[in-house]
Chain A
Amino acid sequence: MNDANPFEAPPVDAPVPPPNGTRLLGNERTFWGLLIRGAFLLLVTLGIYRFWLATDVRRFLWSNTEIAGDGLEYIGTARELLLGFLIAIALLVPLNVAFFLSAFGRGWLSQISGFLALIVLALLGQFAVYRARRYRLTRTVYRGIRFHQTGSAWRYAVCAIFWWAMIGMTLGLAYPFAQASLERFKLRNTWYGDLQGHFAGSGMRLFFRGVLFWLVVIGPLTLGLFIALGQIDWTALGRGSGDMMSRVEAAGVAPALVFAVLSVGWSVLAVAVLYPAFQAMVLRWWIAGLRFGALGVASHLRTRAVYAIYLRFMWIALVAGIVFATGVAIALAITGLLALWLGKGVLTELLSTALLIGSYVIVALAYSTIYQATVKLRLWKAGFESIELSGREALDRVNASGAAGSAVGEGLADALNVGGI
């Protein structure tokens, strides 16, 4: 009789064995409320509120994520993020001034200063990505013990830049190996207390799972552009007789252009249709590769579930689009009325410019909010709820280790726009 009563919690001194899975609790409505309030405050403070919003979002996601019966906890504060950002700005300003001055200089330094700046900022960006990860891990507590991260951020940055260059040169074919290598580096340096992580996913396996996507999306694009370039008679274009138009005609640019446009169109369409399937595949591969000591993870994420998430987003986005179209029409009408009412002048122009920019920003913020509240939250939920843990006992005997990392990395990532927040 007692067992059948669902309203009576089981006594704590005889706990039921925690489940082998993970789940996301929490009310979606609360998350919407948090994001909408945050978007409004971002608008009013021209973005300064982002540190508080990011902290709120993380607090919500972390504390509602339950792994084997216990919840995660985010203990970072917005004040840390703000301070980290200000320190990062103080570090970046002299660097930017140096690049600015060297670009105006004479000699070899000014010739390569643009390239040099690109390399340094890319390295710094990846450095920041790694340090930001350390900040987030050391602000993550589970069962009273924090995570932490070791490893040199510069080494990670060099590896990451190398792999991105490889991805570019192989037209994306190196992506699985890059992911596997970088995840191995990250997970090897990720610790839950004294429990070391590692990554068991294989780049080769991801390659074979993903090569079909590549063949459908990038293959025709590359081939199409190649053929298009081959069709153009370059000598006729460069040194032919007559004016530019007749030379363009003689060189066969028009059919080549049609070819190029068709292949780009095909790729865009293929990406739009296949992206959720690709994302589901990579996510499944990544989750299934996570290991902490003897703790293993399997993922039952269904491709269908990811498609459902994106379709729901598109539906909500469509409805929002109709609402915003009406709003923008009203804003335009008000602008017109202002011109009639105040006459031509600086005030009218300022007001209507502010109105137009304001409506653009509101729409952009609204879509970002919708995306976060639908796609981001649901993907997080689907990912976590697809997990099945094995060797859960490894989590029961972990000793605390590692100290809190600073938030400068996050600030740097924010200032460099590499997705710190």
Chain B
Amino acid sequence: MAAAGRGIFFDGATSARHPVLVELSADGLVMRDAEERVMLARWPYNELDHLAAPEGLLRLGRAGAARTARLEVREPALIAAIDDASVPVDRSGAAERRGRLRVVAWSVVATAVLLAAAIFGVPALADKIAPLVPLRAERWLGEAVDTQARKMLDKSDASRPFACGDQEGLAALATLIGKLEAAAALPIPLDTKIVRRSEPNAVALPGGHIYVFEGLIDKSQTPDELAGVIAHEIGHVAHRDGTRSIIQSAGLSFLFGMLLGDFVGGGAVVIGARAVLQSSYSRDVEGAADRYGADLLNRAGGDVRAFGAILDRIAGAIHPGVEILRDHPDTKARVAVINSLASPGEPAQPLLEPNEWRALKRICTAR
């Protein structure tokens, strides 16, 4: 074991290189000027800091020191002696590997926690927060989303305005909506419009805006069928699903966009995970709206089986695509759930008189 050797010392105050004699004394390393033998520094063994250096060089600093003083040693015998004498100096790298392993383990745990937060935490949080959003804020949000949605949906020109409606048709619509709204007792008023889009569909936006597409009116055979779909949309309004989905998507953006995924190729993970998670949230929400719609129809005196029938007709024809990316549950399952909620006994009388229903069917073609 070499008790002394040569090295280069930088004192951390100037950039001068000091060739030094390094002695391994009982309590630490002693650096003396190679020529004048003046002591330049004494570093205790347990305060040595083993620093990054190229192969064949041992670079030491003093842990916790304000100055970045350095000792560089190239003599293999001296390096080995310092390694033996000092605990922090560890050329085998075992301590470093242990530390690294701990980091990896914690990172994996953190990843698992974040994924769990995305799958369970975000929808739970959105459920808790959505009812707390003041109604004024939701209506304000609704106005903004409504403007955006109109821009996307509206393909009309001057001769055919976006919203349909002659006097009789609008009166019939108001009757139908009035019956449903009275039964629903919502905290915010509904704003329902029939719009010129050929798809058999309807959408609900935050703030009570409901757009029923012309295509849905065409496909409806009875007033109760139409009422069923509208009741489902009212379910979205009652559950405040628009606000909820905004909170969910903001939560997912935060988790995936900011905390995770910022590495090469990570974008694909983010997009894939978001699509799958958002579809799964959406399936839950749609199921809840179906149950609400069936319940509302019962209360308003409508025929729940008609709701099941129109759903089967308009959604059943669509060939199921990729299951995990569907934002609605399987149609057969939906229809089964809805029909199970139908009140037993005689089908009630239709929600609209035949002449009212005729006016509503004509609402987009009149004049």
- Residues of chain A touching chain B, judged by Cβ–Cβ distance below 8 Å, are 9, 11-13, 15, 25-27, 41-42, 44-50, 52, 59-60, 62-64, 66, 70-71, 73-75, 78, 89, 92-93, 100, 103-106, 110, 141-146, 192-193, 344-346, 349-350, 353, 357, 360-365, 367-368, 395-400, 414-415, 417
Contact = CB atoms under 8 A, between A and B. Distances in A.
B56 to A, nearest CB: 9
Interface stretch (B175-183, B223-231, B265-273, B297-305): B265-273
Contacts of A106: 140, 143-144
B272 A357 contact: yes
B19 A365 contact: no
Given A357-B268, A365-B264, A145 B14 contact: yes
Contacts of B265: 360-365, 368
B68 interface: yes
A397 B16 contact: yes
19 contacts: A12-B34, A13-B6, A45-B107, A45-B108, A46-B260, A46-B266, A48-B111, A49-B103, A71-B53, A73-B51, A73-B52, A89-B258, A104-B141, A141-B68, A143-B70, A144-B12, A192-B15, A399-B13, A400-B68
B113 to A, nearest CB: 11
B42 interface: no
Contacts of B75: 9
A338 to B, nearest CB: 14
Interface residues of B, number: 58
A357 B265 CA distance: 9
Given A106-B144, A144-B69, A398 B15 contact: yes
A25 B55 contact: yes
B103 A47 contact: no
Given A41-B107, A63-B53, A346-B323, A143 B19 contact: no
B313 to A, nearest CB: 24
A104 B144 contact: yes
B104 interface: yes
B70 to A, nearest CB: 4
B120 to A, nearest CB: 17
B52 A143 contact: no
Contacts of A414: 262
Given A13-B35, A47-B261, A92-B258, A144 B15 contact: yes
Contacts of A396: 15-17
The 3 nearest A-B residue pairs measured at CB: A144-B10, A364-B265, A45-B107
B110 interface: yes
Given A46-B266, A89-B259, A353-B272, A13 B108 contact: no
Nearest to A52: B103
Contacts of B70: 73, 141, 143-144
Interface string B1-30: 000001110111111110100000000000
B15 A142 contact: yes
Contact of A44 (B17, B69, B104, B261): B104
Contacts of A11: 6
Interface in B243-286: 250, 254, 258-266, 268-269, 272, 276
B355 to A, nearest CB: 42
Given A93-B258, A357-B272, 19 more contacts: A41-B107, A47-B260, A47-B266, A48-B110, A50-B263, A63-B59, A70-B17, A73-B51, A141-B70, A143-B10, A143-B17, A143-B70, A353-B272, A353-B324, A364-B265, A397-B16, A398-B14, A398-B15, A399-B14
Contacts of B103: 49, 52, 78
B57 interface: yes
A343 B269 CA distance: 25
A397 B15 CA distance: 6
Contacts, number: 172
A365 B14 CA distance: 43
A74 B260 contact: no
B219 interface: no
Contacts of A45: 104, 107-108, 110-111
Given A47-B262, A70-B17, A25 B54 contact: yes
B250 A100 contact: yes
B39 to A, nearest CB: 16
Contacts of A350: 276, 324
A75 B51 contact: yes
B132 interface: no
A190 to B, nearest CB: 16
B284 to A, nearest CB: 14
Nearest to A79: B103
A143 B61 CA distance: 12
A398 B13 CA distance: 8
B291 interface: no
Contacts of B250: 100
Nearest to A50: B263
B185 interface: no
Nearest to A86: B259
Given A26-B55, A368-B264, A400 B323 contact: no
B318 interface: no
B12 A145 contact: yes
User: Looking at A26, A62, A71, which has the most chain B CB atoms within 10 Å of its CB?
Assistant: A71
B152 interface: no
B74 interface: yes
A105 B144 contact: yes
B104 A41 contact: yes
A73 B100 CA distance: 20
B160 interface: no
B195 to A, nearest CB: 22
Given A12-B19, A25-B54, A145-B68, A364 B110 contact: no
B53 A27 contact: no
Nearest to A363: B265
A46 B261 contact: yes
Interface string B51-84: 1111101010000000111100011000000000
A414 B67 CA distance: 29
Nearest to A105: B144
B322 interface: yes
Given A49-B107, A349-B323, A363-B265, A13 B34 contact: yes
Contacts of A15: 17, 19
A400 B261 contact: no
Given A41-B104, A345-B323, A365 B53 contact: no
B104 A349 contact: no
A37 to B, nearest CB: 9
Given A12-B19, A143-B17, A104 B34 contact: no
